């Protein structure tokens, strides 16, 4: 905003309009803070903190200061951060079922609670004001904490406090909208994958709605997992499974692939091929490099697990190429956004041969013909449902091969 805000009603309208038109919370908070200062309210620090519905973070915060501008931060899950929250002014208000608190920082004593307030005091703060705004119940996004700190020697005046209070409903509503918008996007990305989540948010939500694509298919399976699960504590087994998924999945995501579905002790990932007529295929080669990196990461994990006297699990990986339908399948009210087709079935049948052929990576003939790497032929195999046998390949000496035509 370039012009000064002369009254709170005008600023409240601007807040709601900006939040409706955009999901850019950082710009909104920056411009709102600057507008407060321009209107004569001596805000040095403005903080917005909300719980997060995220597997890696318990909350996130947007903090504006006149010194540094806006900084976005996340608080990871963990006991240490939970202890810090229990010692915060926010928790104090929640325990008392109150929605407003004010502390004069220049009057804090050494024995006063809330370590964060002493940090603000050390930075020159004199007055701290906190508002809690509750969201609609029923989700982990319970509400937002909005705090203001000034360095003004006399603190916030009565008229300034009234102006801040008048603006809290509009700012709280804006933060509610932003929180649910970001949570929807990130949650869909967590459960469906980033690209697939974007398709769903874009309106592709009807059963049978999809499109035909060419893709490199990567299928994984942990060898010996079923036997391990039968004889070990289930809770421990789940933790081990997550470790292997993390090790194997990270290189795939880093190479541009997307995990579409976890299936017991394995998963299905795809690398969409944008130009199937071009050889060699860059997307297939990315999938091959991801498979090599994934197996290496899993082996490193196994070394660490053996050092802790824990069971190790080898990963089998299959690479295939083909045409698939990418879209929704399921019931009217319960859908799965995935890939369906003959190529997926073929990849699954090849994967079942990894143990019999004693190969941790098997590559179909259709995939091998699209790569410029020299691969080792394993032989011809018969796959259920296919009239003719198919050649399968693997990596020479188990390593990433040099670039060379396989034709």
Q: What is the pLDDT of residues 298-342, one digit of tens each?
A: 999 999 999 999 999 999 999 999 999 999 999 988 989 899 999
Domain-embedded: residue 182: yes
Domain count within the chain: 2
Domain-embedded: residue 214: yes
Whole-angstrom distance, CA of residue 358 vs CA of residue 163: 73
Kindly report each contact of residues 139-143 with a partner whose C-beta sits within 8 Å and lies 24 or more positions away, as own/partner. 139/53, 140/51, 140/52, 140/53, 141/50, 141/51, 141/53, 141/176, 141/179, 141/180, 141/183, 142/51, 143/50, 143/51, 143/172
Question: At 187, which CATH number?
Answer: 3.30.450.40
pLDDT score of 33 more than 80:
yes
pLDDT band at residue 401 using 50, 70 and 90 as cut-offs: low
pTM above 0.85, yes or no: no
| Average confidence (pLDDT) over 176-191 | 90
pLDDT in tens, 225-242: 988 888 889 999 999 999
Q: Domain check: are 186 and 289 in the same one? A: no
pLDDT at residue number 383? 76
From 128, 163, 192, give the residue that closes a domain: 192
pLDDT at residue number 261? 93
pLDDT at residue number 297? 96
Q: Domain check: are 166 and 47 in the same one? A: yes
Domain-embedded: residue 405: no
Domain-embedded: residue 2: no
pLDDT at residue number 62? 95
Q: Name the residue range of residue 60's domain.
A: 8-192
Q: Domain check: are 113 and 233 in the same one? A: no
| Average confidence (pLDDT) over 175-202 | 89
pLDDT at residue number 3? 41
Q: Domain check: are 227 and 276 in the same one? A: yes
From 165, 192, 219, give the residue that closes a domain: 192
Q: Domain check: are 145 and 204 in the same one? A: no
From 192, 221, 244, give the residue that closes a domain: 192
Q: Domain check: are 267 and 389 in the same one? A: yes
Residues 6 or more apart whose CB falls under 8 angstroms from that of 91 comprise 85
């Amino acid at each position: 905003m370039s012009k000064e805000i002369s009254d709170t009603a005008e600023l409240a309208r601007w807040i709601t309009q900006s939040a409706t038109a955009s999901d850019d919370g950082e710009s909104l908070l920056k411009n709102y803070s600057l507008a407060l200062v321009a209107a004569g309210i001596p805000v040095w620090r403005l903080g917005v903190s909300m719980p997060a519905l995220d597997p890696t973070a318990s909350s996130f915060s947007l903090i504006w200061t006149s010194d540094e501008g806006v900084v976005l931060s996340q608080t990871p899950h963990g006991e240490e951060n939970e202890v810090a929250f229990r010692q915060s002014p926010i928790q104090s208000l929640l325990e008392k079922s109150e929605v407003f608190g004010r502390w004069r920082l220049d009057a804090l004593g050494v024995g006063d609670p809330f370590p964060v307030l002493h940090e603000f005091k050390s930075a020159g703060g004199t007055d701290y004001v906190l508002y809690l705004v509750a969201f609609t119940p029923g989700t982990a996004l319970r509400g937002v904490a909005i705090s203001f700190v000034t360095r003004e020697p006399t603190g916030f005046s009565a008229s300034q406090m009234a102006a801040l209070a008048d603006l809290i409903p509009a700012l709280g509503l804006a933060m509610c909208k932003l929180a649910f918008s970001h949570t929807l996007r990130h949650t869909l990305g967590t459960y469906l994958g980033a690209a697939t989540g974007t398709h769903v948010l874009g309106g592709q939500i009807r059963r049978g709605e999809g499109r035909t694509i060419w893709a490199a298919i990567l299928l994984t399976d942990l060898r010996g997992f079923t036997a391990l699960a039968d004889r070990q504590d289930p809770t421990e087994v789940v933790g081990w499974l997550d470790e292997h998924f993390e090790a194997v999945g990270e290189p795939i995501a880093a190479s541009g692939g997307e995990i579409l579905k976890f299936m017991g002790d394995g998963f299905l990932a795809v690398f969409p091929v944008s130009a199937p007529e071009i050889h060699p295929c860059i997307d297939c080669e990315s999938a091959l490099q991801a498979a090599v990196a994934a197996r290496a990461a899993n082996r490193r994990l196994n070394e660490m697990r053996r050092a802790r006297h824990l069971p190790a699990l080898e990963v089998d990986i299959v690479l295939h190429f083909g045409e698939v339908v990418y879209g929704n399948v399921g019931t009217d009210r319960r859908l799965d956004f995935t890939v369906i087709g003959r190529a997926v079935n073929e990849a699954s049948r090849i994967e079942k041969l990894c143990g019999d052929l004693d190969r941790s990576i098997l590559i179909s003939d259709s995939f091998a013909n699209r790569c410029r790497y020299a691969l080792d032929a394993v032989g011809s195999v018969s796959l259920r449902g296919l009239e003719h046998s198919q050649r399968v390949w693997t990596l020479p000496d188990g390593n990433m091969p040099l670039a060379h035509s396989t034709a």
